[in-house]
Structure 1
Amino acid sequence: MNITFKNNEESIKAAVTHAEPTATLAPSYVESIKEVFHELDDMIGLEKVKELIYEIYALLQVEKIRQEMGLKVNHHVYHMVFKGNPGTGKTTVARIVAKLFQRMGVLSKGHLIEVERADLVGEYIGHTAQKTRDLVKKALGGILFIDEAYSLARGGDKDFGKEAIDCMVKMMEDKHSDLIIILAGYPEEMDLLLESNTGLPSRFPIKIEFDDYSINELVLIAAKMAAERDYTLTTETISRLKDIILDEKLDETVFSNARFVRNVIEKSIRHQAVRLMSKPTKLSKQELMTILPKDMSVIEENIKPDNNIPNIPQVNKSVI
């Protein structure tokens, strides 16, 4: 298994030897695990997150080997708290964790149900408990991912959000063998949520912090997004992108990280299309692929086509 996490490399290499095909580990099983880690390793940055996910994998693998050798296997709780700003990869990592746990035999299905406060909280007494129970049942065999989970504790003791938390905690105990719940949200607000209920911290023992991406990591993410769409960024375009990211980081209290970069790339592609339509000559493959600095803008500019753009032929509706 080729895992290229930067830190703790030697111990990772040593642990990976347990994942080679043996009498108890079929080649197909090993390949499926490799696919999951390749997907995780392909994400830009997140080194601390990757290390912790690998620690969980190593624990699961060793527990499996201990069980085969007749040793005691301890019961572990895998409910998690993901703390980080928007666009730091929380939902993507949750999907990867679901796949990993399914292939390791911890979860029977490995699907991800993503919800927020409005999905859990009802409008009258008893409605919240029913909605929460229904969603937990739907998530059985996989992961229930609650985004902006801190909003459940904002209304105080009389708020229906507290009822959702209480119902969820009870069902976590009843359905612990085939369900993982992940609470996600801003770091400070998630700390307040855990403090609001004395039983929550012990029920969510795995806490993962998703740091904001550096400017260089965001540039790599942008280049990857562009390449996946068959676009390229010139050196000058990358320089322009760095300036845009820096300005946004300084201006915004909460920076949306990869989400912001994705929006910039998508707007740049639209601006490039308008620019190319103004060219009177036949477009080359390179022109179609290249994003220039003039294409890159944070705001959605009102770009007017010039007179060189040919008229688009009208569709003859009579033949439709």
Structure 2
Amino acid sequence: MIIAGYSSDIDRLLETNEGLRSRFATRIEFDTYSPEELLEIANVIAAADDSALTAEAAENFLQAAKQLEQRMLRGRRALDVAGNGRYARQLVEASEQCRDMRLAQVLDIDTLDEDRLREINGSDMAEAIAAVHAHLNMRE
């Protein structure tokens, strides 16, 4: 059996029963991704969805991740509260939705080339960051 979670949460779980800790003899701990590593993950996720982050979108992503890396929230780093790698996926998915809504407003979408249809721009990412942070209750 495998259980996964943050160390402090797993420790609390294992302390609920005397014999539980001995049943999980092997423990593998993963380091938190850095903001730069999360940006790499976001680029891979976007590419898999046939999307691409512009330089401005990437910078917005990186700054948001760096801010969360520096903040503490509910006794943990805010980047961990946000889910770390899951945070990257959520931002890419939300920014793709923002992009799609933006493109839906274009009067003659047929005039846009394929690269423009794929790109997630800075405003798409900024809107996605606001939405994801609100959903995650990232306010103090």
On whether the aligned pair clears a TM of 0.5, the verdict is: yes
The corresponding residue for 1:202 is 22
Residue 259 (1) aligns with residue 79 (2): no
The reply to whether residue 278 of structure 1 matches residue 105 of structure 2 is yes
- 1:288 maps to what in 2? 117
Matched to 1:270, the amino acid is Q
Which one-letter code corresponds to 1:221 in the other structure?
I
Deviations 1:246-279 (Å, cap 9, x if unpaired)?
Answer: 2334264423112222111111111111222233
Residues 92-103 of structure 1 aligned to structure 2 (within 5 Å): none
Task: Decide whether aligned partners of structure 1 residues 220 and 192 sit closer, same or farther in structure 2, where only a CA change above 3 A counts.
Answer: same
Pair 251,198 (structure 1): closer, same or farther in 2 beyond 3 Å: closer
Residues 185 and 300 from structure 1, CA distance in 2 versus in 1: closer, same or farther, beyond 3 angstroms?
Answer: closer
Partner of 1:248: 68
Q: Which has the higher helix share?
A: 2
Long gaps (5+) in structure 1: 1-180, 302-320
**TM-aligned CA distance change 1:186 to 1:274, over 3 Å:** same
Question: Which residue pairs with 1:269 in the alignment?
Answer: 96
Partners of 1:295 and 1:218 lie apart in 2 by 18
Superimposed CA distance per residue, residues 166-185 of structure 1 (whole angstroms, 9 cap, x where no aligned partner): xxxxxxxxxxxxxxx11222
Q: Distance in 2 between matches of 1:242 and 1:252?
A: 19
Q: 2:34 aligns with which of 214, 220, 223?
A: 214
**Structure 1 Cα separation of the partners of residues 72 and 97 of structure 2:** 24
User: Does 1:228 find its partner at 2:48?
Assistant: yes
Query: How far apart in 2 are the matches of 1:216 and 1:195?
Result: 35
In our comparison, the structure showing a higher alpha carbon Rg is: 1
Q: Number of residue pairs matched?
A: 121
Q: Distance in 1 between matches of 2:13 and 2:131?
A: 37
Cα separation, 2, equivalents of 1:231 and 1:206 = 39
Counterpart secondary structure, 1:185? coil
TM normalised by structure 1 equals 0.35
Distance in 2 between residues matched to 1:284 and 1:193, nearest whole Å = 53
The question of 1:299 aligning with 2:130 is answered yes
Name the SS for the 2:94 alignment partner: helix
Deviations 1:132-152 (A, max 9, x none): xxxxxxxxxxxxxxxxxxxxx
Give the residue type in structure 1 aligned to 2:29. E
Asked whether the equivalents of residues 276 and 283 of structure 1 are also in contact (C-alpha less than 8 Å), the reply is: no
Query: Deviation of residue 295 (structure 1)?
Result: 0.6
Alignment of 1:1-320 (within 5 A): 181-249=1-69, 250=71, 252-253=73-74, 254-281=81-108, 282-296=111-125, 297=127, 298-300=129-131
DSSP 3-state at the match of 2:3: strand
| TM-score, length of structure 2 as denominator length | 0.75
| Alpha-carbon distance in structure 1 between the residues aligned to 2:120 and 2:73 | 26
Per the alignment, in what secondary structure is the counterpart of residue 27 of structure 2?
A: strand
